[in-house]
Amino acid sequence: MSSNRFAATAIAMILAGAASAQDTSIIVQSTTSTANSGLYDYLLPLFQAETGIQVNVVAVGTGQAIKNAENCDGDVLLVHAKASEEKFVADGFGTERIDLMYNDFVVVGPASDPAGVVGMTDVQAALTQIAEQGVMFASRGDDSGTHKKELSLWASTDVDPTASSGGWYRETGSGMGATLNAGIGMGAYVLTDRATWISFGNKQDYQISVQGDDDLFNQYGVIPVSPEKCPNVNIDAAQTLADWLVSAEGQEAIAAYTVADQQLFFPNAPTN
């Protein structure tokens, strides 16, 4: 074989390998709570070992994840704001939305409990009490799924917290971990998903103050991005991931993930 022909063959093999790697790699646009909890570090190696597909996760707030997916910067969307997810599909950006798993939100606060809400199970009543007493509350303020949930809870009260922005109501514009750190630093109550709270390492004297209200339910969904809107999407690999996550194997893996002997997510994909 001539040196030129050998070089051409080598280049062709390199390009074929690059194309193959691209075919088996996808991007998941995801909420921070699933990433911060360590779930992906546990799940994705299991998936890759079985399928050979590498999954790269972009962890941002749900609102930003949806925008990124609408900009075709991802193959799969995995977030927790059902109304926004359903709109994403209705607008043609997703092929289908499937319930994947759930946990719940909690309100955490300092052990001193300045608003006297510890043990309350009515989250709207607790928020109203925090506002009436002007006790600090730290909000993510970032259009994330948690922020959307928080605003929906305030909307069920007679309080408009944004009218007190910069006073007792502080918007961090940050992710969940950063907001917890900021809230703890200022002695504020914070709404957080339970998985992030269990995994959070800087609790100091903070504890769960309010929990158990049905309105604190936290549903996650998985959506393959539509190739009709985004021709660059790796739909085969994206669908393979979605199918695996909602399969018996994927659901069992989600249920098996624990931190500090506590289950963080509860699978609830529909069964065929």
Residue 97 and residue 223 in one domain: yes
Does any domain span residue 147? yes
pLDDT of residue 165: 97
DSSP H helical ranges for the chain: 3-23, 32-36, 39-51, 62-70, 82-90, 123-132, 145-155, 176-186, 194-199, 235-246, 248-256
What is the C-alpha separation between 26 and 190, in angstroms, rounded? Answer: 34
Check whether residue 75 and residue 121 sit in a common domain: no
Classify 221 as helix, strand or coil: strand
Token pair belonging to 73 = 């910067």
- Please give the pLDDT value at position 23: 65
- Those residues with Cβ within 8 angstroms of residue 188's Cβ, 6 or more apart along the chain or in another chain: 109, 135, 136, 137, 138, 170, 182
Q: Is the pLDDT of residue 5 over 80?
A: no
Together in a domain, 96 and 229 = yes
Residues 109 and 75 in one domain: no
Q: List, for residues 27-41, the tens digit of each pLDDT value.
A: 999 998 899 899 999
Q: How confident is the model at residue 24 (pLDDT cuts 50, 70, 90)?
A: confident
* CA–CA separation, 87 and 90 (whole Å): 5
In a domain, 130, yes or no: yes
**Which backbone phi and psi does 199 adopt, to 5 degrees?**
-85, -15
Mean pLDDT of the residues in the chain: 92
Residues 110 and 122 in one domain: yes
Per-residue pLDDT of 68-125, as tens digits, reads 999 999 999 999 999 999 999 999 999 999 999 999 999 999 999 999 999 999 999 9
Residues 144 and 189 in one domain: yes
Confidence of residue 161 (pLDDT cuts 50, 70, 90): very high
Residue 48: inside a domain, yes or no?
A: yes
More confident residue, 20 or 201: 201
Return the percentage of the chain with pLDDT > 90, whole number. 88
Q: Which CATH number goes with the domain that contains 183?
A: 3.40.190.10
What digits encode the pLDDT tens for the residues 45-68? 999 999 999 999 999 999 999 999
**Domain of 73, in residue numbers:** 3-102+219-267
CA–CA distance, 132 with 205 (Å, rounded to integer): 24
Same domain, 148 and 87: no
**Residue 36: predicted pLDDT:** 87
**Closest among 177, 157, 176, 164 to 62, alpha carbons compared:** 176
Answer for the pair 158, 180: CB distance below 8 angstroms, yes or no.
no
Residue 63 located in a structural domain: yes
Q: Are 226 and 94 in contact (CB under 8 A)?
A: yes
- DSSP H or E segment with residue 147: helix 145-155
Position 199 scores a pLDDT of 92
pLDDT at 271: 84
Which of 175, 196, 216 is the C-terminal boundary of a domain? Answer: 216
Q: Are 229 and 252 found together in one domain?
A: yes
Report percent pLDDT > 70 for the chain: 91
Whether residue 212 is contained in a domain is answered as yes
What is this structure's pTM? Answer: 0.86
Helix (H) / strand (E) containing 39 = helix 39-51
* Domain identity same for 16 and 40: yes
The answer, yes or no, to whether residue 272 has pLDDT greater than 90, is no
Give domain status of residue 272, yes or no: no
26 touches 75 (CB < 8 A): yes
Q: What angle do CA 36, 38, 42 make, to 5 degrees?
A: 155
- In-domain check, residue 91: yes
Residues 227 and 212 in one domain: no
Q: Please say which residue of 176, 201, 216 terminates a domain.
A: 216
pLDDT tens, residue by residue, 164-177: 999 999 999 998 99
Residue 155 counted as domain residue? yes
Between 11-15, 31-35, 163-167, 181-185, the lowest mean confidence (pLDDT) is in 11-15
Same domain, 129 and 96: no
Q: How many helices (H) and strands (E) does the chain have?
A: 11, 12
77 and 18 within one domain: yes
Q: How many structural domains comprise the chain?
A: 2
Helix (H, G, I), strand (E, B) or coil at 188: coil
**pLDDT(225) > 80:** yes
